[in-house]
Amino acid sequence: MSDEGKPDDIQIKLYSLLVDQLHKYTSVIWQIPAALLAVNTFALDKFSDSGVLLLGLVFFDAALVYTFQCMVARQQEIIEAAQKTEAQFKKTYNALIPEFKKGWLPAPKFMVFVLWSLVVVLLVHALIVLIPGLCLRH
């Protein structure tokens, strides 16, 4: 902060950079659940009788969900950095900085939980399809 308590140009530029990166990151990160939905809709129709292909889909889904989970964690770090800057800006521009109420469960964490749950359900389904096929071979 400058002597007058107002943010200086460097602080404003760094904050602008954080917010810009957050916007870019958010537009990319939320494409993963959409891709999972699209891929699984197509694949489940085509692979419904093949336990091996369903297991492959489980591994693909798990990789995407893990990537999504990591990206959500990085996104949260960017948000926290921006919030620290906003706290400094509030000293001078309190009326201009919005105050967002936090819910009991953040949406990104809930989405990660839902996606991992779907991976587990798909794994169980794949095993149900695969195991009877293995038992019938003996």
Given this model, what pLDDT does residue 98 score?
75
What was the pLDDT predicted at 90? 78
Q: Is 106 left (phi over 0), alpha (psi -120 to 50) or beta?
A: beta
pLDDT at 55: 92
C-alpha–C-alpha distance, residues 114 and 40, integer Å: 14
Tell me: pLDDT of 136 over 60.
no
pLDDT on residue 66: 96
Whole-angstrom CA distances from 90 to 1, 4, 68, 82, 96 are 12, 14, 32, 12, 8
Interhelix angle 51-93/107-137, rounded to 10 degrees, is: 170
User: Who's near 18: CB < 8 A, 6+ residues apart?
Assistant: 78, 81, 82, 85
29-53 pLDDT, tens per residue?
A: 888 889 898 989 888 888 878 888 8
- 104 has pLDDT over 60: yes
Q: Do the beta carbons of residue 102 and residue 55 sit within 8 Å?
A: no
97 touches 54 (CB < 8 A)? no
At 39-95, the pLDDT tens digits run 898 888 888 788 888 999 999 999 999 999 999 998 888 888 888 888 888 777 776
